[in-house]
Every structure is written in structure tokens, then in C-alpha cells.
Chains A and B, each alone.
Chain A
Amino acid sequence: MNRFDLLNKIQNILKDNLVICNIGLPSQELYKINDQPNFFYMLGSMGLSSSIGLGLSLSQNKNVVSIDGDGSVLMNMNTLATIGNRAPSNYTLLIIDNGSYGSTGDQRTFTDENTSLKDVAIGAGCKNVVECSGDETVNELSKAINDQNNSYVIISKINSGNVKIDPIPLNPITIRDRFRKFMGIVKYL
């Protein structure tokens, strides 16, 4: 299973939740599979999906899922310490760990060598850290979202590989405003 297959499998679970999606192919693939106003696509700032989702979950009560990647978490690894100390129960971090920098040509990341993000997350103080296969991710993610009392970090181990895809045609303000309209904040659209 690659990232496109996994995103296809979890799209129904994401429907009613606020989703922050990582820059590059993850966002482009999610957009292509089933674009929704409650998906915030990152167009820059690699590494910050987990952080944006954390800020959002601290600011309001709806469930938040940050979709991140192994390369991105490696770039902003302090985020796991902040999550381990501050994540509220409406927060789920889904790390799609394919052991490669998919958007830049599938160069190997350190999770394909010696680094375990599960061990790092546990060491950083994160609770409910789950490492699972792509097939198991659907159940684990549903469980995490439906648990109103705990935050989760799910590390989904899948294969590398990408589908051919175009950049997202939406401009950033459109992404921002329709997302905030879904939340009931923006009234003018």
C-alpha cells in the first residue's frame, strides 16, 4: 500500500473532522481523491502540519487530524515534545511513514534506516502512540477520532511510491476561508 491508497481508504473517516494536510503530494493526492472544505492544504512551511493541527485543536473543540509524513516530522521533531506535553483530547497526529521524501523523488529518510518515530514519540511524552500497517490504519484512526478523552499519535507504515498528479489549483485564501466557513467563523462566503 502506498500513500495514495491509504488516503483513499481513510477519506470517509476524515469527512466530519478538521484536517490539516501536509505540503506536496499528500495534499495533492487528498485533493484529487475527494476535495472537501474541511481540508486545509499546506502550500508551504514543510514540517508544520503537526504544529498547525495542534494550534487548531487547542483553540476549539472539534476533532482535528494532522496528516504528516516521516520526512516532515524529522524536520520539526520538537513538535513531538510539544504534543507530548500539550495535546488536547481532540487531537490526532497521523504520520504516514513511507521511509521516503515522496514529493522530492523518493529519497530515503532516516526512518528507513535507524530511526523509529514511535520510540521518539514515546520518549517525547506522547500518549497513545500506535504504530500500524496501512491496512490497520483505518481502524486505528477511527478509534483515535472517536475517543473523546485522549490524543493519539498514529504512525502508519506503508510503502513509498507516488501517483502522477497536478498541483492544487486553489489559492491560499480560498483554502483558508472555506475552511473557516466550514467551522462557522467566516460568514461572508
Chain B
Amino acid sequence: MKISKKIIDNLKKGGVDFYLSVPCKLLANMIDILEKDNDVYYSAVPREEEGMGICAGAYLGNKFPCIMMQNTGIGNSVNAIVSLLQLYQMPVVFLISYRGTPGEPVGAQGGMAKITEDILQTLRIPMLHCSSENDLEKISTFSKHAKVVESPVAILCDFNLMKDDK
């Protein structure tokens, strides 16, 4: 819970006040925290691409949105990222559970893990890779950076960082 709490605290410190998720077991604690938090909006959504659209609308309505998802969700969302969020220069934080990184028990997750950073790089999306607890301190500044550069940004949280966050 400590890691998840720290992530949410830093996102909120960075100004993020509107949260969506497509669930992942590594995000479960964060979802629990957000469901009990009356200061911010939180909802689950069925699909990441749809979530990108809802985030775009939330930005138009003066919220600072974040979508939480597995890295597989990036694959589901490429066109929405490019032809909506980037086209109209909309700041959105992607909080990504980085499935398929060392510690991952499910071999099939390895495929998307191998290309996740390449996709984000191709899309020119700034990345913050969190592999230890110390990295989490950078999340608030990094989130604010999304607003300054009017761009989506991606925070990748390694499997091993999240797995023992009981």
C-alpha cells in the first residue's frame, strides 16, 4: 500500500484531479485508494482508447486527467493518442503498470513489454521509468511537466516495484 499511496499522493501533488483506469492487479491498491478519495474523480472504463477520449473531454473541462492501465493499453490507444491528445496538445498522465518486466510470472506479457518503450519513443511521449521507491518522488514534477509542454506523458511502474505493495 505504501508504494501505491506514494504514487497517488505525488500525482495529486502534481495537480492530477481526474482518474480513470482499466484495471490491473498491480493497480488494485491505487484503485482502492481513489475509490475512497472524495477530492478527485475516479471511474473504471472498459477500454483504454475510450479512456483517452474521456480524458480529452476532462481536459477541455479544465481537469487534469490521468489514465491508469497496463502497458498493453498503449497498444489499444495509439490513434487516439496521436490524432486527439497530441493533435490538440492535451496534457494527460498515463500511469502504466509495466507488465512483462522482470518478476512477471506471465510469459505472454513479455511481448508488449519488449516494444512498449519503443512505441512511446516513436510517439515522442516523455517517459518516467520507476523501478525503485526513490523514483516515485519525481512523479509530481513530471506530471506538472505534461501541462507545461501540453503533451501526454507516461509513467512506467516496473512489475517488481509494485508486486509486493501489500
Contact = CB atoms under 8 A, between A and B. Distances in A.
A123 interface: no
B97 to A, nearest CB: 20
B53 A52 contact: yes
DSSP majority for the B interface? helix
A45 B84 contact: yes
B57 interface: yes
Given A44-B87, A55-B59, A56-B57, 17 more contacts: A20-B57, A45-B56, A45-B83, A48-B50, A48-B52, A51-B51, A51-B57, A53-B57, A54-B54, A55-B53, A55-B65, A56-B61, A58-B18, A59-B18, A76-B53, A78-B50, A172-B89
A43 B58 contact: no
Interface string B44-78: 01110111111111111111010000000000000
A175 B88 contact: yes
A180 B50 contact: no
Contact of A185 (B18, B46, B47, B62): B62
Interface string A163-181: 0000000001101100110
B119 interface: no
Interface stretch (A79-87, A125-133, A134-142, A152-160): A79-87
B46 A48 contact: no
Among B50, B51, B60, the one with the most A-chain Cβ atoms within 10 Å of its Cβ is B60
A50 B63 CA distance: 18
Query: Which 3 A/B pairs are nearest by Cβ-Cβ distance?
Result: A44-B83, A55-B57, A59-B61
Interface of A: 20, 40, 42-45, 47-60, 76, 78-79, 81-82, 86, 172-173, 175-176, 179-180, 183, 185
22 contacts: A43-B83, A44-B82, A44-B83, A45-B80, A48-B49, A48-B50, A48-B53, A49-B53, A51-B53, A52-B54, A55-B54, A56-B60, A58-B18, A58-B54, A58-B61, A59-B60, A76-B53, A82-B43, A86-B43, A180-B62, A183-B61, A183-B62
Interface string B28-51: 000000000000010101110111
B58 A82 contact: no
B55 A176 contact: no
Contacts of A20: 57
A59 to B, nearest CB: 3
A170 B81 CA distance: 20
B79 interface: yes
A58 B46 contact: no
Contacts of A179: 60
B88 A55 contact: no
Contacts of A42: 84
